[in-house]
């Protein structure tokens, strides 16, 4: 079996994370998202010194709570340091074997590996509906959350990759989860993956 990693980028509210979980389950391979990558980074010990150094800025136990609070004592960008740590964790996970990684610019981080880069998008009305339901927020709050989250993703992606988030040239396949449905979207990704590793 040829090694292949599935990276999933997604619009907020498109069901991309859930689709990623389904794909991993269908293929019997591990699933990693932001929370898991952060946890691994924290447990790895490689960030201990970094946490100590920036701990004056925020009381949270998570190093990722330090994002966007400015610069560390050494004058280096905290975001850059966090990106470097995540990059290291993502590469190590990918080297272990086939897996599904949602978000974290994994498509770019793993650009020298054999990856199937997926982008999940959805119709605005359904993204709003899903966000209202999963986050328990009003329509207006959901719209704001979608807009701001995707804007932040877009800015971060551009900054770290030099590429445009959501631009088709960066992905192998882009799927509309509203028109296809989340279950079928996951089926399609799993089938493309199987075809690819034949």
Using CB under 8 A as the binding criterion, the count of chain residues that bind a copy of itself stands at 21
Q: Which residues contact 160 (CB under 8 A, 6 or more apart)?
A: 83, 105, 108
Task: Tell me if 23 contacts a copy of itself by CB under 8 A.
Answer: no
Structural tokens at position 51: 């946490």
Rank residues 77 and 124 by Cβ distance to a copy of itself and give the closer one: 124
Q: How far apart are CA 5 and CA 90, in angstroms?
A: 11
Least separation in angstroms between CB 192 and a copy of itself:
6
157 binding a copy of itself? (CB under 8 A): no
**Nearer Cβ to a copy of itself (50/121):** 121
Near a copy of itself in 158-197, by CB under 8 A: 166, 168-169, 171-176, 179-180, 184, 187-188, 191-192, 195-196
Residue in 66, 83, 108, 121 binding a copy of itself, rule: CB under 8 A: 121
Burial status of residue 13 (CB atoms within 10 A of its CB: 0-12, 13-18, 19 or more) = buried
Determine the straight-line distance between the first and last CA of the chain, rounded to whole angstroms: 8
User: How many angstroms separate the CA atoms of 84 and 160, rounded?
Assistant: 10
Binding site for a copy of itself (CB under 8 A): 119, 121, 123, 166, 168-169, 171-176, 179-180, 184, 187-188, 191-192, 195-196
């Amino acid at each position: 079996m040829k090694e292949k990693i599935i990276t999933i980028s997604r619009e907020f509210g498109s069901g991309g994370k859930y689709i990623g979980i389904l794909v991993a389950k269908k293929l019997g391979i591990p699933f990693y998202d932001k929370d898991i990558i952060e946890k691994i980074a924290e447990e790895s010990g490689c960030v201990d010194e970094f946490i100590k150094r920036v701990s004056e800025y925020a009381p949270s136990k998570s190093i990722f709570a330090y994002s966007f609070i400015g610069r560390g004592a050494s004058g280096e960008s905290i975001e850059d340091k966090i990106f470097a740590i995540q990059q290291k964790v993502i590469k190590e996970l990918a080297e272990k074997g086939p897996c599904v990684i949602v978000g974290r610019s994994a498509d770019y981080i793993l650009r020298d590996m054999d990856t199937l880069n997926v982008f999940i998008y959805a119709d605005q009305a359904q993204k709003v509906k899903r966000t209202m339901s999963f986050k328990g927020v009003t329509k207006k709050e959901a719209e704001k959350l979608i807009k701001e989250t995707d804007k932040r993703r877009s800015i971060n992606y551009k900054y770290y990759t030099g590429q445009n988030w959501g631009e088709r040239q960066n992905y192998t396949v882009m799927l509309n989860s509203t028109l296809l449905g989340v279950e079928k979207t996951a089926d399609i990704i799993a089938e493309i993956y199987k075809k690819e590793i034949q």
